[in-house]
């Protein structure tokens, strides 16, 4: 049974802890006076971040957890404050005494620690990577993020779905269309409406375009981190052309506001010509890059995540499919009818993740041809009904999960689990047996979001 997410909400008399699996949903009520429950981290290691977050947010204690350190609260966050409690209404916080964060570390003769981040030499979100090293060899890596918590869950409380949309679609810049489609599906559920096929096809086309943009970006940066900058130049040109195409279709380079329950006309002839040109360039890139043995010497057997490890850590998206797991939210009738084919590799290394991205770009181009349709169908938005709603979508990173509770017409509880929140926790498994110079290569091959990871 696959673990998907674990999160909490505050009720009038209790806390409710919800654990979501692919086969069922478990709900448990906890006393507010003594909110204690059993950890799931012994069976599902990735549950530990969910549980540490719930302790920071609500004060819930997880018995027998193997890690009880703060997750989203940094070293000077005021002790005893839990920002997702209803009673919490502080606008300004006074910093507490500095309490050092004790990193996981391996000790021994000749073993030393290397700290990378949280500030990096480039345009990148803050994230900290703590290495235990024996010379160049990586013995252990601990990932620590959550330096830019924006309070989105609290921010959305009391807002209507319409008011929340501009915030939701900006949570993670490389998944804006995916977040909007999750939001779209919840709005449809809450208003008890069906999405017209023409709009569903346009939305799917935009989602595949977003996937292509980010896969192309990765196909440039992965070889670049192995010392082959020509690939970055070539792939970046294709990614920029695709980004401009997204702006042409939606009015914004990141597609903000693109999912609006209307079907806007597309110049299909022009778009098909662009798709044909893109496919030609991608196939050329594939043939070119495949015929560089020195590059594949760096890719092959680097950053391996085995099938068993991938299952144990419930990884998602390209990371899962490169380790032999056939898991993709597009594996449904709608997508299959429009040409979806599951991309898969089994070696679980950088090479496998690179190959899966190439396969997915080629398949996305095929599906986009099939999604093209001249149609101006629109859907009138109806009022929403109170209730608890969930949605899923396969973003460029992996399975995105969102849930919204609506009460008296406004959001009572908002929670989203970005695929990166799970995949970041498996990154350390790919480091053993590699050298520290390969860390950027391995990290980039997973292409994880910092912003989506930290609400």
Reference 368, options 262, 212, 145, 216; nearest CA is: 212
Q: In this structure, which topology does domain 156-446 adopt according to CATH?
A: Cytochrome-c3 Hydrogenase; chain B (1.10.645)
pLDDT value at residue 125: 85
pLDDT value at residue 58: 97
From first to last of its 455 residues, the chain has per-residue pLDDT tens of 999 999 999 999 999 999 999 999 999 999 999 999 999 999 999 999 999 999 999 999 999 999 999 999 999 999 889 999 998 888 888 888 999 999 998 989 999 999 998 988 777 789 999 999 999 999 999 999 999 889 999 999 999 999 999 999 999 998 999 999 999 999 999 999 999 999 999 999 999 999 999 999 999 999 999 999 999 999 999 999 999 999 999 999 999 999 988 878 888 999 999 999 999 999 999 999 999 999 999 999 999 999 999 999 999 999 999 999 999 999 999 999 999 999 999 999 999 999 999 999 999 999 999 999 877 778 888 899 999 999 999 999 999 999 999 999 999 999 999 999 999 999 999 998 899 999 999 999 999 999 999 99
pLDDT value at residue 244: 97
Check if the beta carbon of residue 222 is closer than 8 Å to that of residue 350: yes
What are the residue boundaries of the structural domains of the chain, listed by start? 1-97, 103-148, 156-446
């Amino acid at each position: 049974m696959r673990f998907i997410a674990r999160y909490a909400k505050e009720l009038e008399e209790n806390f409710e802890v919800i654990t979501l699996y692919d086969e069922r949903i478990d709900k448990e009520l906890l006393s507010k006076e003594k909110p204690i429950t059993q950890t799931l981290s012994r069976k599902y290691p990735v549950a530990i971040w969910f549980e540490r977050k719930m302790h920071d947010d609500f004060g819930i204690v997880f018995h027998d957890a193997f890690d009880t350190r703060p997750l989203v609260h940094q070293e000077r966050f005021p002790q005893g404050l839990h920002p997702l409690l209803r009673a919490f209404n502080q606008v300004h916080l006074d910093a507490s005494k500095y309490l050092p964060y004790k990193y996981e570390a391996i000790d021994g003769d000749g073993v030393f620690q290397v700290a990378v981040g949280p500030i990096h030499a480039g345009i990148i979100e803050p994230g900290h990577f703590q290495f235990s090293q024996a010379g160049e060899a990586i013995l252990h890596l601990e990932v620590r993020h959550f330096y830019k918590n924006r309070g989105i869950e609290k921010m959305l409380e009391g807002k209507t779905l319409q008011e929340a949309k501009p915030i939701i679609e900006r949570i993670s810049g490389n998944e804006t269309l995916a977040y909007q489609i999750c939001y779209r599906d919840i709005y449809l559920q809450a208003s008890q409406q069906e999405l017209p096929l023409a709009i569903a096809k346009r939305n799917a086309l935009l989602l595949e375009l977003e996937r292509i943009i980010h896969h192309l970006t990765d196909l440039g940066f992965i070889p670049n981190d192995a010392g082959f900058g020509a690939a970055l130049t070539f792939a970046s040109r294709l990614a920029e052309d695709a980004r401009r195409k997204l702006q042409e279709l939606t009015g914004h380079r990141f597609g903000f506001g693109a999912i609006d329950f209307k079907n806007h006309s597309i110049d299909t002839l022009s778009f098909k010509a662009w798709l044909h040109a893109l496919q030609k360039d991608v196939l050329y890139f594939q043939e070119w890059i495949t015929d560089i043995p020195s590059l594949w010497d760096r890719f092959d057997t680097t950053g391996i995540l085995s099938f068993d490890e991938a299952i144990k850590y419930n990884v998602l998206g390209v990371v899962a499919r490169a380790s032999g797991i056939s898991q993709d939210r597009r594996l449904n009738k709608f997508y299959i009818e429009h040409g979806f084919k599951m991309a898969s590799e089994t070696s679980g290394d950088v090479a496998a993740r690179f190959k899966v991205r190439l396969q997915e770009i080629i398949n996305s181009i095929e599906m986009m041809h099939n999604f093209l349709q001249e149609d101006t169908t629109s859907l009138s938005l109806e009022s929403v009904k109170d209730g608890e709603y969930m949605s899923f979508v396969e973003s460029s990173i992996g399975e995105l999960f969102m849930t919204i509770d609506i009460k008296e017409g406004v959001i009572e509880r908002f929670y989203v689990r970005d695929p990166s929140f799970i995949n970041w926790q498996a990154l350390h498994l790919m480091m053993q047996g590699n050298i520290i110079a390969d860390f950027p290569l391995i990290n980039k091959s997973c292409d994880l979001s910092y912003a989506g990871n930290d609400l």
